[in-house]
Chain A
Amino acid sequence: MTTLNPPARPSAPSSRAVRPARPAPRRVRHSPLGRGLNLGVCAVAGLYTLLPLVWLLFAITKTLPDLYGSNGFAPSGFHLWANLRDLFAQDGGVYPRWLLNSVLYAGAGAGLGTLASVMAGYTFAKYRFPGREKLYGLVVAGVLVPGTALAVPLYLLFSGVHLTNTVWSVLIPVAANPFGVYLARVYAAGSIPDELLEAARVDGAGELRTFFTVGLRLMGPGALTIFLMQFVSIWNNFFLPLVMLTDSRLFTTSLGLFTWNSSTSQNPDYLRMVVVGSAVSVVPLLILFLTLQRWWRRGLAEGGLR
């Protein structure tokens, strides 16, 4: 395989003979072929990633007939503002309500879930107690259970206590985040020195107070990462709201768009609404992602390494 990359080889013997005192810079001269191949693969991947999004960008500016009649990757008139106005007015202005619901489910669910996960992760990392690893094993097992496999049993459970079709039937299940506990344990073990906790204890702070004043503060960045990951996963959840909710005023954007999409045979204009509504529903997450990019990378680093 090394023969595929010949230019790096000839330089090796000489550099071994005269060993540099400091490590040479990582920049290595590469063949134009290698560079071209590399750029080519990256360009193809980039194009593939952008293709559907570009189509969507053109589509949201079109009228319904042009959605079918014009080239999908070229503009055809500019009706974005009219489309947005129609979207927000459709079915008595239910779309902004769906957006707000999504923000509520994702924001409150991730907020509640992250605090619970950080408290549990901190406890697993910083205290010894009987049965700790057994309990922790149970949490990790929770990571492996597929979420949608529990949706139907969850529906049956909630309907047993007459709580289906309520905010709680979505909010409470999505707040439970075992993967967050796993991450929080890793963060707590890595970012909170035991000496600091001991100092707080010597100063007479109780254990709970120590957590809120010392532990939580030091785990802040990790907690933000857990919050963001959970926010996205709740925002993306479709199966649970579909199973639980029947009142359209409680719908998430995804569920609402799904019902519109299922009604295009009765009213073809719903297609235009679904297209524009899809684009609008992506915007809040994109803003969140672009403004907080480095926290994502951090989360990925911690989650992937251990």
Chain B
Amino acid sequence: MLKKWLGLFFIVFGVVAVSLGSYAQVKIHMSSYLVQVDKKTGKETLVTSNTAYPGAVIQYVIDATNTTDKAIQGLVLVGPIPAPTKLLPAWYQAILNFLAGKAEAPAFCVLIKQGAAAQTVPMTGHKLPEFSIDGGKTYSRPPVSYVVNGKTKQATPDMFTHIRWTIDTLGPGEKVEISYRVVVP
């Protein structure tokens, strides 16, 4: 009876966060901030807000904590770009600029490790996030291209549907934090 009731619950709300009979060994949490820029100084501040105007930039922060006493391998964090928002073009462009050797590694492109081995790790090379343009089925490293009618084209930031980060090892009790930005059309 309980099982049936649960099934009904999932169908009505479409929410799933259960792997049968096991507890989550990695606790994942998401928060969002509005990125506000002082027009005079150019200084950014992150403001907690549950509302946004069209044109606003939202920074999503995902943190994941290993709640076990053993290292977790191959942790993959997936951040969707929720409808109707688009990935902030400047965010993607900064990565492209870095890859083209025109700029330093973007300051936002870091993995913040907390806990015993607290550190801020620049996410370069194979640690750069990967991007999906097909609803999360496949991911590519930037610069992302796709093939249409036999021709290869560069993907534009508005095409991205998901971003993912792969963290090789997350030690016991360690917490990682990554972030990305979207714009409200």
A binds B: no
Question: Which A residues are within 8 Å of any B CB, using their own CB?
Answer: none
Question: Which B residues are within 8 Å of any A CB, using their own CB?
Answer: none
